[in-house]
Structures are given as C-alpha cells and as structure tokens.
Amino acid sequence: MEPILEGPVEVRSHLGPDDERSLADDVLDGLTRPLKELPPKHLYDARGSELFDAICELPEYYQTRTERLILEAHAQDIVRRTGAVELVELGSGSATKTRVLLDAMAAAGTLARYIPVDVSATTVHAVAELFADEYPGLSVFGLVADFERHLERLPEPVGPRLVPFLGGTIGNFPPGSRRRFLRSLGKVLGPDGYLLLGTDLVKDPRVIEAAYNDSAGVTAQFNLNVLHVLNRELGADFDVDAFEHVAFFDREREWIEMRLRATQPQHVRIDALDLEIDFAAREELRTEISAKFTLDGLRADLDAAGLELVELFTDPNELFAVSLARVAG
Ligand SMILES: C[S@@+](CC[C@H](N)C(=O)[O-])C[C@H]1O[C@@H](n2cnc3c(N)ncnc32)[C@H](O)[C@@H]1O
C-alpha cells in the first residue's frame, strides 16, 4: 500500500475494505453466539478513541496515572538497560505516556525512530505528526493496523528495539490467546529487543469496578459507542438509548467484563450482513474483558510465551505493573 505521508513522517494503513469485512465477520460471528460478544478493538473509532482519552483523565481510572508514575521513575533505567534506539508501540492510542520514554531516549542520545501501531487511524496520524514535530530528527513510521494480524508488516529494526504495550491492553485477550499473542511478539522483538508490558493488578474489586463505572458516565458512553459504529459501518439499526452499560469484576476469572444490556426486547437489522438479531429484555452483549494480574500469574504468562522477565516495576500500592521482558535465551 502507498505511504500516505512521506519524509521523516510516514504513515501506512493496512486497514481497508478487507477490514470492513473483518468488522462484518466479527459481528456475524459474535452476535450469533449464545452469549453475544464483540472484540474490544471495535470500540476504538475516532469517537471511541476520544472517549478513551477522557476515561484516562477520570479520578476513578487509576491505571493511566499510576503507569505514568512507574514509567517516570524507571524510564532512564529502562533505556540504559535496553540500549533502545527505536520504539514500536502496540495499541499506541494518543501515546501520552510514551513521551516519558522518548524523553529518556532523547536524553541518552539514542532516539532514532518511533513506530506507533493502532487500529485507530486518527490517533496514529495525530501522534505521528505531533512527535515528528516535537522531537527533531526523529523518524516516525506509523502503522494503522491490527496488531493481531499485521505485525509482519513492521519494518526491520534499525537497532535495539523497545516494544511498549501499555495501558493494560494485554488484559483484553482471554488467557490462551494472551499467551499465543505474547509468543508471537518474539519475532517483533528479535534477539536484541525488549517488551515493556503494562498490566493492571488484582486488587480490591471495589477499586477496579469503580474504574469502569465512573460517576461521570464516560465509560458508559465509550461502551455504547460501539453500537454507533455498527449502525454507521454496517447499516445496523440499534436503538442505542435502549441499551445500558454494565461492568463487573468476575472474581473467579479475575477480569472485568464490560457488557451492554438491552433494557427492553430489541429486534435489530444489520443491512450489510442481511442479518436480523433479537435481544430479549435484559439480554447482554459482552464488549470487553480486561484481565487483572497477580505477579505470579504475570510471570507464568511470560514464561509460557517463551519470554524472560528481566525486571518488574510497580507502584508502592501495587496497583499496576510494568514488566521488561525479552525472548528467553
Ligand atoms: C486500552 S487503550 C490503550 C491506549 C494507550 N496505549 C494507553 O496506554 O493509554 C487500547 C489501544 O489499543 C488499540 N487497539 C485495540 N485493539 C487493537 C488491535 N487489535 N490492533 C491495533 N490496535 C488495537 C486501541 O485503538 C487503543 O488505542
């Protein structure tokens, strides 16, 4: 595919008509199951990405500010240990915390390239242009892509590579796929690369549940937005006002579930799929899981994925963890 921007900033998109197909396939597959379900990546259109940024600023959402504090405390050490010259950031979003790493690399004189990878085209373009502007001499190569399908489209490393996967996004994978995905990162890391993985930790369920049921209702809007995506992209006729946001911590599986609950019986037509779907009153559609980790569970996942934990950083209250890992030798 032709580059959209050229020069020190280049953005390539690997999401095209095939990916409208991918949304259609996910909807056909997910909404015809006994427990209706959609993969969380469809929450992030331009509006969804804006709402996620607003969530990150909420008082209840401790994850972002805690992860930023951990990065601020250890960025220099991370850069020194890894000798990283480039960042390949998975699910980069608006990359607000990434500056902490870029600043540490710039201060160490190693900063050469930044590669944001996200399904949200608006955020990849915005971040690519912003960072190319803010960091003179930085080469930026943005990928609008699905990190589950397009990692082989990454360019060859220009030197030791650090791969931040922040924001607890790894928690969106169920356990088996999580390990498979982490294993697939081995090729992206190569022999000299390091993964920097942000994970939310298991804690008092009231604290976790409050983060997904904020009093301003922003998470509810973020969750409901996926129905707008389906209405717009697939010609569906969901009555968005007839669904409500639900989020609860499943103590057995140690994950948050976000769901949309029909407040009354619904009949929905999805033109692009020529599909009719019924929701019973109070029937729920699962839109996201967000796994919370114990330190032992995290080590076991990395181990099972053929990754070696080099260092684990956390905050004094053990709310969140950032792990530095590499391919096991
Ligand atoms: C929880 S947000 C985290 C954003 C940012 N890294 C942070 O720490 O604040 C998840 C990000 O991953 C992106 N994302 C989700 N699934 C994706 C996929 N399959 N491929 C690429 N990006 C994805 C979303 O668009 C969103 O920007």
Cβ-based burial of 172 (10 A; exposed 0-12, middle 13-18, buried ≥19): buried
Q: Is the CB–ligand 1 distance for residue 166 below 6 Å?
A: yes
Q: Is the CB–ligand 1 distance for residue 287 below 6 Å?
A: no
pLDDT tens-digit map of 135-190:
999 999 999 999 999 999 999 999 999 999 999 999 999 999 999 999 999 999 99
pLDDT tens-digit map of 96-110:
999 999 999 999 999
Give 8's pLDDT tier (boundaries 50, 70, 90). confident
CB of 326 closer than 8 Å to CB of 307:
yes
Q: Is the CB–ligand 1 distance for residue 209 below 6 Å?
A: no
Residue 94 CA, closest ligand 1 atom number: 5
User: What pLDDT does 5 receive?
Assistant: 44
Amino acid at position 150, single letter: H
Is pTM, for the whole model, over 0.85? yes
What's the whole-number mean pLDDT along residues 117-142? Answer: 95
Q: Tell which residue, 201, 319, 273, has the closest CA to residue 28.
A: 273
Residue whose structure tokens are 């220009």:
158
Q: Is the CB–ligand 1 distance for residue 118 below 6 Å?
A: yes
Give 329's pLDDT tier (boundaries 50, 70, 90). confident
Q: Tell which residue, 118, 162, 161, 170, has the closest CA to residue 142.
A: 118
User: What pLDDT does 237 receive?
Assistant: 98
Residue 21 has pLDDT above 90, yes or no: no
Please name the residue whose Cα sits nearest to atom 19 of ligand 1. Answer: 146
User: What pLDDT does 3 receive?
Assistant: 44
User: What pLDDT does 289 receive?
Assistant: 98
Give the mutation target among 169, 200, 223 for probing the ligand 1 site: most ligand atoms within 8 A of CB. 169
User: How confident is the prediction for the chain on average, in pLDDT?
Assistant: 95
User: What pLDDT does 280 receive?
Assistant: 98
